[in-house]
Every structure is written in structure tokens, then in C-alpha cells.
Amino acid sequence: MLIKRPEYLGGVKPSDIISESVYENRRTFLKAAVAAGLVGSALPAGAAQAPAQADLKYTKNKAFGADLKPNRYEEVTSYNNYYEFGTDKSDPAQNSGKFKPQPWTVKVSGEAEVTGDFSYEDILKPHPLEERIYRMRCVEAWSMVIPWVGFPLGDLLKRFKPTSKAKYVAFTTVNRPSEMPGLRYPVLEWPYVEGLRIDEAMNPLAIMAVGVFGKTLPNQNGAPIRLVTPWKYGFKGIKSIVEIRFTEKQPPTSWNRSQAREYGFYANVNPEVDHPRWSQAREQVIGNGLFAARQPTLMFNGYADQVASLYAGMDLRKNY
């Protein structure tokens, strides 16, 4: 079914918000600002100060990211995609100060034996936290290395005892226009929704992150709880989750629903499948300097050993 929505700002389609040339110019400017120590040092006039981040108790899982050097905190927290706070990479850090990540409730529904409303504390209580350093890749051809703090998504989902009908798991982001100024514009059909096949969700690489750099998540990074799937493009990593729903059929997802030709349900990092408007064969690593050469994109973002078996026999060009 075709869903008609208002056009964004005078007829511009959602897929046209970020052209490669605009992205390149903005990335160059922001990287220069980060290198100069300017980004994150001050908020614009009228912006609210975000709550201080609290320390977390966690262990370091050396099986993930021992050979990777994380980006700096300023880079990870000032260069973000979070359209509920604005479409520019600097908007989430600047516009998320009024967002209140506590108290927090996650609704669990659908094809599971255990459903209902669970507080943030209920969600975290049984799960020991660990730090995992993951390489993260954005569909816009940039990447970072981020030290997430969280716990396996599969461990959480098992608590709810999904039934045999649960073939997929869907997630929904909170929808608070008074705290999230990007919701004033029909960039996407709000609230933001995402989904995984149940076996993808159970893969040990998939985590629910509640922190970064050893502290609770900043608002602009998806506080208080978000999904991280490092073998997929960043838009799969839904933020500020308020609902988890087990479904029998493939759930709709926001970018796929908006522009299916450009954003597939699976969103696996695949250098052989280009975005219709730019190549995905190479990527720019944020923090490597203004004139650093792009590096080759790795299949499944370098995590093929852990996830390739999930897609055995599938046409990864068709199922992109």
C-alpha cells in the first residue's frame, strides 16, 4: 500500500535530504572543528544543557575490538544521525538537551509468553554490562569505532519467551515532539521503527547498548537504551527504544517504508551493493584527518565470520 505523506520543505523527498556533496562538505567542516577542539565545547544560544552522564559498572569483553582504536568521545557524541533532533550531524548534540531519558518504560508485546511494561531498571537488572568495541558503518560512507557498554540482545529477548510464531522482532523509538524538535518535520513517518529477523536478533553480536565510554548514553547517542548491530548500516541501530514487539510477519521499518529502493530491510554492509546515489565500496573513517584516503569497505563490516551463516543461500543483492 502506498502511504501518502506531506512533502518535506517544499517538495524535497526524504532521500534527498543528504546528497553526497552536501554530506562531504559538512563532514569536512565538522572534522576540522573536531580536530580543533571546537565541537562539543559550547552549545548554541537557546540550546538546553543535557543531563550529566553517570558512570556504569561493567567488564571489558576483550573478544570484541581488542585490535581496534576507538574514536574520541567528542567525535562519537558530536557527529550523529538522529533525525528526531534534526538532520544535520551536529543537530542531535545541540538539540537534545531537553530530552528526558529517565524514568523510562519499555513495552513488550506480540508473540511472546511474557509481555507488559518494564521499567529501565527491570530491563537491566538481570544483565551484567560489558564493554564491546565495535566498528560502526553508516550508509553515507563514513565509519567510526565506538566502545559501547551493554548486554546481548538475545539474552533480553529470551526473558520474554517468544513463541514459535515469533519470526521477527520489531522496535519503536519514543515519540515526544516537545522534546525532539526534528519530529516537527515529516522527514519520515514517525515514530521511528526498525526490525530484525529473530535469528539476527539472537546473534551474539547484537547488543542493547545503555552506555558509551563507560558512562550512560548521551541523549544524542540514543539514551537510555538502543540497538547496536555492527554488521549492518547505522540506520538499523534504533535509539531510545520504548517498544519491543514479536511478530510473525516482517515488520515495516522507517527508511525502507520511506524509500525502499535505497534502504532495504536487511541493511547488511555490502561493498558490492551501492546506494543508488553513491558507492559503498569505500568508506571515510572519521578521525583519520581531513585528507586521509578512504579505505575499502569490508563485507558485513568485517564481521562475516560471525554473521555470514545467517544469510546462506540468500541473494544479498536482492535482500539488501
Residue 220 has a pLDDT of 98
Does residue 8 have a pLDDT over 80? no
Write out the three cell numbers for 258.
520511506
Sign of CA dihedral 71, 126, 157, 112: negative
Over residues 298-302, mean pLDDT: 98
Q: Looking at the predicted structure, is the pLDDT value of residue 224 above 60? A: yes
Lowest mean per-residue pLDDT among 11-15, 89-93, 195-199, 286-290: 11-15
Question: Does pLDDT of 26 surpass 80?
Answer: no
37-51, 219-233, 275-289 — which is least confidently predicted?
Answer: 37-51
Contacts of 44 (CB under 8 A, 6+ apart): 94
Above pLDDT 90, what percent of the chain?
82
User: Could you tell me the pTM of the whole model?
Assistant: 0.87
32 has pLDDT over 90: no
Cα 41 from chain centroid (whole Å): 24
Share of the chain above pLDDT 70, in %: 84
Largest distance between two CA atoms of the chain: 54
Output the pLDDT for position 124: 96
State residue 78 phi and psi, 5-degree precision.
-120, -5
- On whether residue 59 sits in a domain, the answer given is yes
Residue 48 pLDDT grade (very low, low, confident, very high; cuts 50, 70, 90) = low
Residue 148 belongs to a domain: yes
> Average pLDDT for residues 71-76, to the nearest whole number?
97
Question: Helices in the chain by DSSP H: which ranges?
Answer: 20-35, 73-78, 91-95, 120-124, 153-159, 198-202, 254-258, 304-307
Q: Is residue 11 part of a domain?
A: no
Kindly report the average pLDDT of the chain as a whole number.
88
Q: Is residue 164 part of a domain?
A: yes
The number of domains in the chain is 1
| 271 three-class SS | coil
pLDDT at 51 over 80: no
Residue 52 within a domain: yes
Q: What is the CATH number of the domain that holds 59?
A: 3.90.420.10
Mean pLDDT for the stretch of residues 74-90: 97
Structure confidence at residue 49 (pLDDT): 64
> What are the residues facing 161 on neighbouring strands?
none
**Of residues 146, 147, 161, 149, the one with CA closest to residue 57:** 149
Of 99, 149, 146, nearest in space to 124 by CA = 149
- Residue 140 included in any domain: yes
Mean pLDDT for the stretch of residues 20-48 = 42
- pLDDT score of 175: 98
pLDDT score for 102 = 97
pLDDT category of residue 173 using cuts at 50, 70 and 90: very high
Least confident of 16-30, 44-58, 133-147, 197-211: 16-30
Q: Give me the count of residues in the chain.
A: 320
Q: In this structure, is residue 155 part of a structural domain? A: yes
Q: What confidence category does residue 40 fall into, taking pLDDT thresholds of 50, 70 and 90?
A: very low
Supply the range of the domain harboring residue 238.
16-311
Which is it for strands 207-212 and 142-152: parallel, antiparallel or unpaired? antiparallel
Min mean pLDDT across 23-37, 251-265, 305-319 is at: 23-37
Q: With respect to residue 2, please indicate whether it lies within any of the assigned structural domains.
A: no
